[in-house]
Amino acid sequence: MGFSFKTFTGALALTTFIAMGAAEAKEMVMYNGGDVTSLDPQKMSGDWEDRVAGDIYEGLFTEDADSKPVPGVAESHTTSEDGLTWTFKLRDDAKWSDGEPVTAEDFVFSFKRLMDPKTAAEYAYLQYPIKNAEKINKGEIKDLDQLGVKAVDDKTLEITLEHPVPYYPSLLTHYTAYPLPKHLIDKVGDAWVQIGNIVTDGPYKPVEWVPGSHVLTAKNDQWYDTGSLDIDGVRFLSMEDVSAGFRRYQAGEIDLMTDYPKDQFKFIEENLKGQGHFAPFAGLYYYVMNSTKPPFDDVKVRQALSMAVNREVIGPKVLGSGEPAAYGWVPPGMNNYPEEGARVAWASEPYKQRVEEAKKLLEEAGYGPDKPLDITLSYNTNDNHKRVAVAIAAMWKPLGINVKLVNAEVKVHYANLRQGAFEIARAGWLADFNDPVNFLDLLKSGIEMNYGQWSNQEYNSLLDQAAKESDLEKRAEMLEKAEKIALDDSAALPIYFYLSENIVSPKIKGFKDNVFDKHRTRYLSMSE
């Protein structure tokens, strides 16, 4: 990992970009939130990394400006009658940034590497619909050649699934389905991802990466439609201080903010007309409780904590930007699911009544005025997360709960979540594809993103049954039943559903709000 300018091609690309000069180069500067962990798509996990990955790589399918799946490297595909075998014809002009062709074998190599337990890819489970993928990833099958992917020839890829997947093109837009440059990795191994070595197949390529500072991209002149690109490159800033970022935006130093200080909502609406983009978004803001540690292994404690959160005031008053309260796990509007989905049984109760019930639950669990409950609430460093944490700590105070707030930078925070080193912690999930299972999987046993390690066999069984059900109506019933089980057991604490939150300079054209909040640079243009 890291960056290096040792090879001539990487240095030349950067020199060429800089030599264009500020007057010629159209460089878009983006506030991108957290620090990018890697440029290897199988080592990524955050939306801030996806924004980089979606510019520099392209899978069989990609997203259009509305974030709907459209053909990418695959110019066409066919599906067998039983829905299990998908055959993709790759574009003849698909190339890596070093001019080498993108082949079916690159995809085979990538999927095998993704499922190899040695890779430890956090999101490998998203591609479990592929035949034998889960068994290989969990070490039950050792032979990677048993994975249901094969290269029929250089430009024909065949993928066999375990069961029909009605939303499969959406899955193939995800960065776990991107190809990898087998020819380069065979040659230099893990060093392939370093600047100076790395090659990519998307519209842009990375030319500079300074961890803790930025990733800089430039046009990939080997991409088949590079002539359509208006913006020459993007400087993805690694910044977690959203207030500082917003000041730089106002000074004209940043062109696109992917977050903003919530206390500036009214200011933006009144003074930066047309620049604030706040739209319904397939995402959930929630707290996870470590169910492996007392007292969070007690459903009464978990339910009391959840009931005492006054969700109705979080979006409008604490944040000031109107995010809708979440009384369920799956955001409204997901495909193949009822519009509302399941909700907690007490969602319509008056807040004062809920607080009294929460107090009783805590007393039954052994806590109260004589035995206060001391808990630690962790969040990743961000003014908005702090506001929510402070407000919720105040809501828990009347229950006799003392809250210690702990913050850490985003990489450290999520590392702690994965290791179970927390009591209660902030988390968020942005949909990877348009189906409820993308959210419900977060509470399934054995999934790495099930940070609280909540486990329920009936829940797991329903998800497994739903995965094999081709009748979408029956499948939706199973998934809704599973969601209800998780909510009744207070598996986690949903707080609000996201709004996409972008502040876009008038210089940037072509920015379209969409429920997945994906805005690939290829669809944008920039005026002086």
Q: CATH code at 140?
A: 3.40.190.10
Say whether pLDDT at 21 is over 60. no
Is there a single domain that holds both residue 376 and residue 313? yes
Angle at 226 between CA 222 and CA 229, to 5 degrees: 150
Instruction: Provide the pLDDT confidence category of residue 336 given band limits of 50, 70 and 90.
Output: confident
For residue 252, being part of any structural domain is answered with no
Is there a single domain that holds both residue 467 and residue 325? yes
Is there a single domain that holds both residue 491 and residue 361? yes
Cis-peptide, bond into residue 295, ω within 30° of zero: yes
Helix (H, G, I), strand (E, B) or coil at 111: helix
Task: Return the pLDDT at 335.
Answer: 81
DSSP state of 125: G
| pLDDT, tens digit (0-9, with 9 covering 90-100), for 40-67 | 999 998 899 999 999 999 999 999 998 8
- Average confidence score pLDDT of the chain: 92
Query: Order of strands across the sheet with 493-504?
Result: 204-210, 214-219, 233-237, 27-31, 256-257, 493-504, 276-289, 424-430, 373-380, 401-408
- What is the percentage of the chain residues whose pLDDT exceeds 90? 84
Residue by residue, DSSP assigns 130-193 as BTTHHHHHTTS---GGGSSEEEEETTEEEEEBSS--TTHHHHTTSGGG----HHHHHHHGGGGG
- By CB atoms closer than 10 A (0-12, 13-18, 19+), residue 502 is buried
What the block records as the tokens of 450 is 């099930």
For residue 481, being part of any structural domain is answered with yes
pTM given for the model: 0.77
Say whether pLDDT at 244 is over 80. yes
Domain of residue 472, CATH code: 3.10.105.10
More confident: 20 or 241: 241
CA separation, residue 237 to residues 32, 34, 43, 326, 380 (Å): 5, 8, 19, 31, 17
Say whether pLDDT at 18 is over 90. no
Is there a single domain that holds both residue 148 and residue 285? no
For residue 94, being part of any structural domain is answered with yes
Closest CA to 10 of 132, 184, 155: 184
Q: Which range of residues forms the domain containing residue 448?
A: 281-499
Annotate 359-370 with three-state secondary structure. HHHHHHCCCECC
Element (H, E) at 508: strand 508-509
Instruction: Provide the pLDDT confidence category of residue 1 given band limits of 50, 70 and 90.
Output: very low
Task: Return the pLDDT at 528.
Answer: 75
Task: Return the pLDDT at 280.
Answer: 83
Is there a single domain that holds both residue 325 and residue 346? yes
Instruction: Provide the pLDDT confidence category of residue 192 given band limits of 50, 70 and 90.
Output: very high
Instruction: Provide the pLDDT confidence category of residue 432 given band limits of 50, 70 and 90.
Output: confident
Instruction: Provide the pLDDT confidence category of residue 24 given band limits of 50, 70 and 90.
Output: low
Is there a single domain that holds both residue 188 and residue 65? yes
- When divided into structural domains, the chain yields a total of 2
Give the max Cα distance, the chain: 73
Residue 35 has, within 13 A of its CA and on its CB side, a CA count of 16
For residue 11, being part of any structural domain is answered with no
205 forms beta bridges with 218
| pLDDT, tens digit (0-9, with 9 covering 90-100), for 91-144 | 999 999 999 999 999 999 999 999 999 999 989 999 999 999 999 999 999 999
Closest CA to 335 of 86, 69, 109, 26: 69
Closest CA to 229 of 219, 240, 239, 241: 219
For residue 16, being part of any structural domain is answered with no
Q: For the chain, what is the radius of gyration of the CA atoms?
A: 23
Task: Return the pLDDT at 334.
Answer: 84
Q: How many CB atoms lie within 10 A of CB 15?
A: 12
In the block, tokens 């998800």 appear at 463
Is there a single domain that holds both residue 355 and residue 491? yes
Is there a single domain that holds both residue 307 and residue 329? yes
Report the C-alpha gap between 392 and 384 in whole angstroms: 13
Residue type, 296: F
Is there a single domain that holds both residue 174 and residue 317? no
Task: Return the pLDDT at 8.
Answer: 26
> What is the distance between the terminal CA atoms of the chain, rounded to a whole angstrom?
35
Element (H, E) at 452: none
Is there a single domain that holds both residue 351 and residue 445? yes
For residue 81, being part of any structural domain is answered with yes
Is there a single domain that holds both residue 81 and residue 218? yes
Report the C-alpha gap between 212 and 37 in whole angstroms: 10
Region 360-367: mean pLDDT is 96
More confident: 333 or 513: 513
Which parts of 348-456 fold into alpha helices (H)? 351-364, 383-396, 410-419, 437-440
- Please check whether residue 420 is in contact with residue 430, taking contact to mean a CB–CB distance below 8 angstroms: no
Helix (H, G, I), strand (E, B) or coil at 270: helix
| pLDDT, tens digit (0-9, with 9 covering 90-100), for 437-491 | 999 999 999 998 999 999 999 999 999 999 888 788 999 999 999 999 999 999 9
| pLDDT, tens digit (0-9, with 9 covering 90-100), for 73-93 | 999 999 999 999 999 999 999
| pLDDT, tens digit (0-9, with 9 covering 90-100), for 270-325 | 999 999 999 888 999 999 999 999 999 999 999 999 999 999 999 999 998 889 99
For residue 21, being part of any structural domain is answered with no
Say whether pLDDT at 361 is over 70. yes
For residue 272, being part of any structural domain is answered with no
- Please check whether residue 392 is in contact with residue 426, taking contact to mean a CB–CB distance below 8 angstroms: no
Is there a single domain that holds both residue 215 and residue 291? no
